A = this chain, B = another copy of it.
Amino acid sequence: MTTDHGALRLWLRLLACTNLIEAPLRQQLRRSFGESLPRFDLMAQLERHPQGLSMRELSERLMVTGGNVTGLTDRLVSQGWVMRQAAPGDRRRVTVRLTAAGRRQFKLMAREHEAWVQSLLGGLDPADQTQLFELLGRLKRSLRNPSIRTAPADRAPR
């Protein structure tokens, strides 16, 4: 690499791999269940948090704006996979949870989903998979915890 560009090349490769996996997964999710990846992700968050999450927490975890979480949730509610509950103590707040049917549906989708993922990743040596998992963990931590900012921070003022 002539003038480094290491970080950029790493990012492009990361993006390429993600897209190579994500594109078929999205297609299969839609064809088999008529579901979109953002809605699947929302349900996955709720699966991991059985006590429910507020709209704000969902917004942060899914990294989309509040208005969009409302839209995603509306659709999931109308499908019957998700419910809104009044949160105790703060009447502004809403708690979103999976319904019993939503939990069943999610498990169904997750099982298929996992089979597809295994099929896609099956070509990679298991030892490499393990190592990759570990390295991505470090990357993730460094992204969530930008202790060292080499470039001008993007504190997102506004």
**Number of residues on chain A facing chain B (CB within 8 A):** 62
Nearest to A148 among chain B residues (CB) is B123
Check B10 against A132 for contact (C-beta < 8 Å): yes
A150→B10 contact, CB < 8 A: no
Question: Contacts A122-B148, A122-B150, A133-B6 known; A11 to B15 CB distance under 8 Å?
Answer: no
| A6 partner residues in chain B, CB cutoff 8 A | 126, 129-130, 133
For residues 47 through 75 of chain A, which have their beta carbon under 8 Å from a beta carbon of chain B? Answer: 63
Contact B121 A11 (CB under 8 A): yes
Contact indicator A123/B142 (Cβ below 8 Å):
yes
Is B118 a contact partner of A128 (Cβ separation < 8 A)?
A: no
